[in-house]
Structure 1
């Protein structure tokens, strides 16, 4: 390469990176603006049609609150991504052949699956859907990933397993997609938790794909970030009295869970010519550990006590935080911060120890945190009982 061609090549790469940042920023802002514009109107429609999530013994809120905030998620994402991609093609940036073949197939099937699951969630928010039908829908859309060539084909040494054959990896992937989707749905029990956890995940994946120069996946991730931010404002800081509070409902939580499972499988999938990188397993594991471990723990506890696995209760981690005396916002900040700290600690441990040791450490720490919450809840209940006894003279 000549002396003159080197600066020209550098400028060309820099120009492409700058275009990438502009297009990704455009995608983010379009999604943000659409979400910010539509959400107040969803609140108005919910009030006029009395579409509320009424409180009951299992739920953590007081007062009737609209639960249709998730209606804005998929439209915001698809509109901003489609328009930004069209602009990208018009600018001929970067090589358009990257949007052909398996990448295009992945995105088309992801869009189809997201829309189908989105409408199932909308129906559930409006009139209810039996959990069996929701599971059937989830397995159907989960099967679209392997059709595009996406499946977990390597465990990077977890449980001593590396390469996973397709006949095992494909059904395993489908089950994991359904499990992750439901785990995110189940963690949506207090203000800002599901959205805040998802926000951390999508910012991380968006940044990672930006660094990899796989612009379309970064655009998709930041489109989700854009639509989440306005929703989080209404969800966390909205007032029940003023009628500005909003829940995402199943249309939102199922959509987020499905999109997160896509990024988790996509990032985990081993590509031979890119080499073995344990971070491809550590990052999805760390980002999704809180909802996945919590869902698995709750299922094990229900089986142990011989309760129906799908029977709703108040044994989730966010319910324990509330019972321990923390507010919605404090619980959300703690659990989201825990995810961020877990990510960086696990990445540091990945340079020193085996993936199985990292997994064991994470599980033991999560068990310890749940135990400490149980102890705090017990102390609080004992103090309340003593106070009641003193006040009644018993």
Structure 2
């Protein structure tokens, strides 16, 4: 517990995913090895069961390794891709996309990346939603029950069998995971359940109407999907790494509004049940109510986000504006800088090279710039350029709060050997982060200048 993202009391084991996986395997192995195989589903479909067993095992073991050793994100992604590839090779794939307003969209070559994305999103959605006692397990149980109903509706024996096995495993675990929890599923559980639901979503909707096949599990899983997308947008808008955890998930926000942990979980259960019911309505209506339900769900979540502020729309607007201005700045300033670098390299003397540097510095809206070389314990100034320095000095003396602020950036450009260090000193009024983003280009410019002065030659 940390009073930030983890609200449980005391130390609780978090390897419940192993128990869930074993509980899933027991009925599967009993069926495959001890029951007459043709009695429940066609032998040709047994490979789908094995695909889920193998792919789910890879996902579970990866999550278990993360629970124990806290492995790097790149390794998590790699094993998620491997698990999804196992599913794809076993014909659990997305060949077309649902279109509630017309015929399905055939993917062709993009079937593989779409399948990878589907498994990746499902596994991480369940993982990121596992924030309160019983939350992820309960929501997953409602989703598997829904997919069980879909499979029964379309006479999909394979979907019925897998749904029943996965639902039973989750239900047995939920008894011990509901608040107050005595065990957590951990990443091993969330990864396996996410993989299982992703695979089950493809299996159970196999005989469904084409236009609504994939939309059914998407609507049933919309609550974890919303939390995953919200987290990504929230971190992106604040310039944070997408993998950086925070305490602003949907359940955290609800608790901050004064709700207890158990009440928050129950309310989210209700929302999930409503969404699962909406998915079943689409099934029973044969897709005729799809567009209406999609619009209603979107409207409800937009209004809900307006009150809960899970995603700050203003933050997103600011990030979009920042990126647009950065793109415009790059477009206006990078091309002249690259041109100046090439011109400096082609110059025959230092004076001409410095003249091109001055043009580039003016274009960057700097107030002053200098390039110096530290060699043999002495500073040697290559050239120093001052642009409108009197204006800057005069404004710095003013107490007017609207006066343009200035910054000075002094940084090493390149260490050529033990006794030589090139330093570029810049001063300006614009955003210094923009200048930092083009330091590699400034490095080339400074290197070209020092080369003209005879300090060193590029290899």
Q: Same fold (TM over 0.5)?
A: yes
Segments of 5+ residues of structure 1 without an aligned counterpart are 1-53, 240-244, 376-394
Q: Equivalents in 2 of 1:295, 1:112: separation in Å? A: 26
| Cα distance change on mapping 1:216 and 1:355 into 2, 3 Å | closer
1:330 to 256, 263, 271: 263
Shift of 1:74: 1.0
Shift of 1:145: 2.1
Shift of 1:199: 0.6
Look up the match of 1:58.
5
1:83 to 4, 10, 30: 30
Look up the match of 2:52.
110
Q: Equivalents in 2 of 1:168, 1:160: separation in Å? A: 20
Q: Equivalents in 2 of 1:216, 1:152: separation in Å? A: 17
2:298 to 350, 360, 363: 363
Cα deviation per residue 1:30-57 (whole Å; 9 max; x = unaligned)?
xxxxxxxxxxxxxxxxxxxxxxxx5463
| Cα distance change on mapping 1:132 and 1:360 into 2, 3 Å | farther
Look up the match of 2:18.
71
* Residues matched between the structures, number: 308
Pairing of 1:1-394 with structure 2 (within 5 A): 54-55=1-2, 57-89=4-36, 93-94=39-40, 98-100=42-44, 103-158=45-100, 162-238=104-180, 245-269=182-206, 276-345=209-278, 347-348=280-281, 351=285, 355-356=290-291, 358-374=293-309
* Between 118-127 and 134-143, the greater mean CA deviation after superposition: 118-127
SS of 2:67's equivalent? helix
Larger radius of gyration: 2
**Higher strand share goes to which structure?**
2
**Higher helix share goes to which structure?**
1
CA contact (8 A) 1:152 1:170 kept: yes
SS of 1:228's equivalent? helix
CA contact (8 A) 1:55 1:63 kept: no
* Between 346-355 and 327-336, the greater mean CA deviation after superposition: 346-355
| Cα distance change on mapping 1:58 and 1:333 into 2, 3 Å | closer
Q: Equivalents in 2 of 1:140, 1:147: separation in Å? A: 10
| RMSD after superposition | 2.5
- Highest RCO, 1 vs 2 (Cα 8 Å, sep ≥ 6): 1
CA contact (8 A) 1:55 1:62 kept: no
Shift of 1:127: 2.0
Shift of 1:304: 1.4
